[in-house]
Amino acid sequence: MTQKIKRLEAHVANQIAAGEVVQRPASLVKELLENAVDAGASEISLHIKEGGKLQVQVIDNGHGMSLQDALLCFERHATSKLTLAEDLFNLSTKGFRGEALASIAAISQVVLKTKTSEDELGTEIKISAGNFQETNQLVAPKGTSFTVNNLFFNIPARRNFLKSKQIEQRHITDEFHRLALAHPEIGFSFFADGDPLFVLPIVNFNQRIVQIFGKKTQDKLVPVSEETPQLKISGYILRPEAAKKSRGTQFFFVNKRFIKSSSLHFAVVNAFDGLIANGIHPGYFIKISVPTASIDINIHPTKTEIKFEDEHTLFAILRASIKHALGQFNIAPVLDFDRDPNLDHPYHDTKKQAVYPQISVDAFFNPFENEPLTIKDGSFKNAAVFKRITPGWESLYSGLHESAYETTLDPAEEPNAVFYEQQGTQEALFASDVSDTATGSCFQLAKKYIVTPTKSGLLLIHQSRAHQRILYEEFLINFTHKKAGSQQLLFPKIIHFTKPEVLLLEELIPSLEPLGFNMSVIDKESVSITGIPITIIADHIETVLIDFINSYQNDLLGDHFSQTDILAKALAKTMAIKTGDYLSYAAQQNIINLLFACKETLVSPFRKTIINTIQQKDLDLKFL
- How do the domains of the chain map onto residue ranges? 10-200, 205-328, 360-423, 452-613
Taking only the tens place, the pLDDT of each residue in 504-514 is 888 888 888 88
- Compute φ and ψ for 531, nearest 5 degrees: -150, 145
- Kindly report the pTM of this predicted structure: 0.69
Q: Which fold has domain 205-328?
A: Ribosomal Protein S5; domain 2 (3.30.230)
DSSP state of 436: H
Average pLDDT over residues 372-382: 47
The pLDDT score that the predictor gives to residue 606 is: 87
Distance CA 37, CA 175 (A): 14
* pLDDT class of 425 with cuts at 50, 70, 90: very low
- Compute φ and ψ for 480, nearest 5 degrees: -80, -45
pLDDT at 98 over 70: no
Percent of the chain with pLDDT over 90: 34
Residues near 66 by beta carbon (within 8 Å), at least 6 away in sequence: 116, 119, 123
Distance CA 579, CA 133 (A): 63
Residues near 269 by beta carbon (within 8 Å), at least 6 away in sequence: 281, 282
Taking only the tens place, the pLDDT of each residue in 317-354 is 999 999 999 888 766 655 555 555 555 555 555 566 76
Residues near 117 by beta carbon (within 8 Å), at least 6 away in sequence: 63, 64, 142
β-strand 250-254 against 257-259: which pairing, if any?
antiparallel
Asked if residues 168 and 51 have their Cβ atoms less than 8 Å apart, the reply is yes
Out of 93-102, 253-262, 349-358, least confident range: 349-358
Q: Write down the mean pLDDT value for the chain.
A: 80
pLDDT at 160 over 90: no
pLDDT at 371 over 80: no
Helix (H) or strand (E) holding 72: helix 67-72
Q: Which CATH superfamily is domain 10-200 in?
A: Histidine kinase-like ATPase, C-terminal domain (3.30.565.10)
pLDDT at 593 over 50: yes
* pLDDT class of 58 with cuts at 50, 70, 90: very high
Q: What is the DSSP string of 178-203?
A: HHHHH-TTSEEEEEETTEEEEEE-S-
pLDDT at 224 over 70: yes
pLDDT at 132 over 70: yes
Distance CA 121, CA 615 (A): 85
β-strand 55-60 against 143-149: which pairing, if any?
antiparallel
3-state SS string over 86-144?
Answer: HHHHCCCCCCCCCCHHHHHHHCCEEEEEEECCCCCCEEEEEEECCEEEEEEEECCCCEE
Q: Which fold has domain 452-613?
A: Ribosomal Protein S8; Chain: A, domain 1 (3.30.1370)
- Compute φ and ψ for 302, nearest 5 degrees: -85, -5
- Compute φ and ψ for 421, nearest 5 degrees: -65, -40
User: Of 223, 224, 221, which Cα lies nearest the Cα of 242?
Assistant: 221
The CA–CA distances, whole Å, from 566 to 248, 476, 552, 554 equal 18, 10, 7, 10
Distance CA 477, CA 266 (A): 42
User: Of 488, 443, 417, which Cα lies nearest the Cα of 589?
Assistant: 443
pLDDT at 434 over 50: no
Distance CA 613, CA 132 (A): 68
* pLDDT class of 427 with cuts at 50, 70, 90: very low
DSSP3 helix / strand / coil % (the chain, rounded to 5)? 40, 20, 40
Distance CA 501, CA 516 (A): 20
Asked if residues 460 and 442 have their Cβ atoms less than 8 Å apart, the reply is no
The CA–CA distances, whole Å, from 394 to 205, 369, 382, 390, 391 equal 74, 18, 16, 9, 8
pLDDT at 199 over 90: yes
3-state SS string over 474-491?
Answer: HHHHHHHHCCCCEEEEEE
Handedness of CA 137, 138, 143, 148 (dihedral sign): negative
Asked if residues 205 and 287 have their Cβ atoms less than 8 Å apart, the reply is yes
The pLDDT score that the predictor gives to residue 53 is: 93
The pLDDT score that the predictor gives to residue 22 is: 84
